[in-house]
Structure 1
Amino acid sequence: MFALAVVAIYSLILLVSIAIAKRFEQTPHVFQASEKFYDLKGKTAIITGGNSGIGYYVAEQLAARGARTILACRDLHKAEAAKRRIIEATSNSNITIKRLNLASLRTVREFCAEVLASETHIDFLINNAGAIHLGDHETEDGLQITWQINYFAPFLLTNLLLDKLKYCNGKIVNVTGQFCANRVYLDDINTYSPIIWREKLSHVLVADMVAYFNAKSALYESSFEFARRLGTTGGSVCVFTVNPSSSNFYRRVYLGPIAILYFWLHVLFPKPEVEARKLVELILSDASITKYGHDDEYLANELWRRSCQLVNLQT
């Protein structure tokens, strides 16, 4: 009887949370002609995960300003649907879909080879795609899957496309993550359950979140190292990190106590279209990362060295 009562109470709380989320859900942003400022005709943008969430709205807003927009997506069916919606909303037909599966470094290299062959320049590279709650298993590349999708694959992708970015003094945007620590520890790299957490983890969802936050923290740290290296070799290529307070990764959580937390995050934080407008305003501004390097130079160099080794990248 006690167990049934707990289940009933939890179900009631979950249903109430869903109802409140729906009640306060913001109306989706509809593009208006007056918003098509900053003419981006002749510019090329690549958005990973551009078929949904923040990535979709970023793609829509760049396309509305005339940019050639490349949606780098794993699911081509969803990407086609997104492409149709963007064309309908912006009247810009210069939207291209290219397959990119961050869980496979082979497809990352294939994607980059295709882009290098087809594009003369890249003005904006937006590493938006990410994933959480993937469990503890390795990819075909021998990397922990959460780390590969959220850090190693974007790291490799950016390195392979640098020449096209340097050609036009492009901009790199790394979307980090909610609550990421912005600090990575070398012992945690490519691990699912870091040493300092191992004795405390009692639920697989918590372990998933720790892996996600640590991988995003590595992406944040590497952004400064990219900026430092490009500051000496890449001309005027700018690097940004963006830490949005909303995303749609909570869609992977269907049940369990943590689902309630995600529903409340969905209610309280800005919607993806709002975050996307902030991101676009940032990359169209003159802002950039001006502080090169870290307080811990050894950490920066060692993270870069280990990352290159794990993705088999010669630099």
Structure 2
Amino acid sequence: MPSAPTPGPYDVHRPPRADGRTFMVTGGNAGIGYFVAEQLAASGATVWMSSRDAGRGEAAAESIRTRVPGARVSHFRLDLADLSSLKASVEALGADRLDAVVYNAGVALDDPPRRETKDGHELMFGTNHLGHFALTRWLAPLLRAAPAARVVTVGSFAAKSERLDLDDPESTEDYRPKRTYGRSKLAQTHFGFELDRRVRASGGTLLSVVAHPGGALDGLTPARPRVHVTTGGERLRALPAGLLLQGKEAGARPVVRAVLDPEVRGGELYGPRVFGLRGLPRPEPVKGHFADAAVAARLWEISSAMAGVSPDLGLL
């Protein structure tokens, strides 16, 4: 009897099919999240995309349907800045399992003043990190119901140059918006790797993977009329940056590979090939402060207390 064919290298233009599987993308109505949802929908999967704004969410879903014939894509309302609302949002889906969730949604502020979530947490740390941390607790039953679920956390190149201050994780003492954003993405990155460590220690089958888009600019991003329109001037101004950076459609590819590639392993990091800024997705070494398990473990305990959820998140 002939043996099964050996899978070839991952091809971004012909990624593996995912018919019959269900994926969730937080913040799927715009930016990187939109293109992640679009590419996953093209794989044949059912895709749930979250947004706080129902109108923008439906516009994004309709955009995907016009580009992907037969796309099974829906939006649902999710507000990561309101921790008390997350359980009800998940229950309203009526889903019985989830094969992968992409933690993409996020807030990025450029200027003071410091802002807070409904729960009193600094807005970027509270939304980008704590919101996803708490959401995992309510998604746990759906992830456990899948035979080999994945949690893919979207990091950022900005996290590479930051360090956490675990004595002041919410920047109450010295608030600088760009630094606080980078730290919130670093916290997400630590979450992704620490979740992998804890799952492996418990003998679980879930895979936790981190991916980042590199340098993704609006001016290099193809237009999606219902979601994103780039003017001619913006495209021209962005052309020189195309030597080192890329658009958000390309920036979504490391994330999509982390979801779809059967060769992906828990605890891996995926990013663009060229200096981590542009190009085809590939695994990157996890080193330096990204590999600091002691910081990640302490952050986990702090986050559990802040988010008001048990440290096992219902998964371990």
TM-score where L is the length of structure 1: 0.73
Match of 2:196 in 1: 227
Task: Please give the alpha-carbon distance, in whole angstroms, between the structure 2 residues aligned to 1:83 and 1:218.
Answer: 29
Match of 2:266 in 1: 289
**Offset, 1:263:** 6.7
- Larger gyration radius, structure 1 or structure 2: 1
Instruction: Label 1:296 to 1:290 Cα distance change in 2 as closer, same or farther (>3 A).
Output: closer
Instruction: Label 1:248 to 1:295 Cα distance change in 2 as closer, same or farther (>3 A).
Output: closer
Instruction: Label 1:103 to 1:234 Cα distance change in 2 as closer, same or farther (>3 A).
Output: farther
Q: 2:186 aligns with which of 201, 205, 217?
A: 217
Residue 171 of structure 2 corresponds to residue 191 of structure 1: yes
- Cα deviations by residue, 1:138-174 (Å, 9 ceiling, x for unpaired): 2220101111111110111123212321222111111
Match of 2:30 in 1: 52
- 8 A contact 1:73–1:79 mirrored in 2: yes
| Paired positions, count | 258
**Offset, 1:112:** 2.2
Alignment of 1:269-280 (within 5 A): 269-280=245-256
Q: Determine helix, strand or coil for the equivalent of 1:174.
A: strand
- 8 A contact 1:192–1:208 mirrored in 2: no
- 8 A contact 1:247–1:271 mirrored in 2: yes
**Offset, 1:269:** 1.2
Match of 1:240 in 2: 209
Alignment of 1:1-315 (within 5 A): 35=13, 37-115=15-93, 118-133=94-109, 135-168=113-146, 169-181=148-160, 183-191=163-171, 194=174, 207-233=176-202, 235-247=204-216, 267=242, 268-285=244-261, 286-290=263-267, 297-315=293-311
Q: Determine helix, strand or coil for the equivalent of 2:64.
A: helix
Q: Which amino acid counterpart does residue 190 of structure 1 have in structure 2?
A: E
Task: Please give the alpha-carbon distance, in whole angstroms, between the structure 2 residues aligned to 1:298 and 1:113.
Answer: 34
**Offset, 1:36:** 5.8
**Offset, 1:305:** 1.2
Instruction: Label 1:71 to 1:294 Cα distance change in 2 as closer, same or farther (>3 A).
Output: closer
Task: Flag as ranges the 4+ runs of structure 1 deviating above 6 A.
Answer: 262-266, 291-295
- 8 A contact 1:36–1:64 mirrored in 2: no
Task: Please give the alpha-carbon distance, in whole angstroms, between the structure 2 residues aligned to 1:265 and 1:234.
Answer: 48
Match of 1:24 in 2: none
Higher fraction of helix: 1
Higher fraction of strand: 2
**Offset, 1:177:** 1.5
Task: Please give the alpha-carbon distance, in whole angstroms, between the structure 2 residues aligned to 1:158 and 1:249.
Answer: 30
Match of 2:6 in 1: none
Task: Please give the alpha-carbon distance, in whole angstroms, between the structure 1 residues aligned to 2:23 and 2:143.
Answer: 10
Deviates more, 1:74-83 or 1:180-189: 180-189
Task: Please give the alpha-carbon distance, in whole angstroms, between the structure 2 residues aligned to 1:265 and 1:48.
Answer: 31
Task: Please give the alpha-carbon distance, in whole angstroms, between the structure 2 residues aligned to 1:307 and 1:284.
Answer: 29
Q: Which amino acid counterpart does residue 172 of structure 1 have in structure 2?
A: V
TM-score where L is the length of structure 2: 0.73
**Offset, 1:283:** 2.3
- 8 A contact 1:191–1:211 mirrored in 2: yes
RMSD, aligned α-carbons: 2.9
Instruction: Label 1:215 to 1:288 Cα distance change in 2 as closer, same or farther (>3 A).
Output: same
Task: Please give the alpha-carbon distance, in whole angstroms, between the structure 1 residues aligned to 2:60 and 2:240.
Answer: 25
Match of 1:3 in 2: none
Task: Please give the alpha-carbon distance, in whole angstroms, between the structure 1 residues aligned to 2:217 and 2:92.
Answer: 28
